[in-house]
């Protein structure tokens, strides 16, 4: 008698069954995924910085200019191309107002 699935417990205490050797907890993976796609393209510090400022949607992001985004601690110029691309995918852009 061989068990096809093994009960595993991740380091957060989620119980899940996996038949493979894949160590990823499905519950943790869901939690880790940000609600909107553009945050998932960023580095963790950049994502946290935006979340800290309540910028969790592209609509919200588009109310900021590039200059304002760069002033947020944790966001570097390296994050800008990904942000710009995500905005463009939705037909949006950074706020162009002169600051």
Applying CB under 5 A, the residues found at the interface with Zn ion are 10, 12, 14, 25, 27-28
Is the Cβ of residue 31 or residue 88 nearer to Zn ion in the bound state?
31
- Residue 9 pairs in a beta bridge with 15
Is the Cβ of residue 27 or residue 90 nearer to Zn ion in the bound state?
27
Is the Cβ of residue 29 or residue 88 nearer to Zn ion in the bound state?
29
End-to-end Cα spacing for the chain: 70
Q: How far is the CB of 56 from Zn ion (least distance, A)?
A: 22
């Amino acid at each position: 008698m061989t068990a096809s699935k093994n009960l595993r417990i991740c380091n957060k205490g989620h119980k899940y069954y996996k038949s493979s050797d894949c160590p990823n907890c499905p519950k943790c993976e869901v939690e880790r995924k940000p609600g909107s796609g553009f945050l998932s393209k960023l580095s963790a510090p950049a994502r946290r910085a935006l979340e800290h400022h309540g910028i969790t949607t592209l609509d919200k992001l588009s109310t900021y200019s590039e200059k304002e985004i760069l002033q947020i601690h944790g966001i570097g110029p390296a994050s800008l191309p990904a942000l710009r691309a995500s905005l463009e995918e939705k037909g949006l852009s950074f706020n162009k107002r002169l600051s």
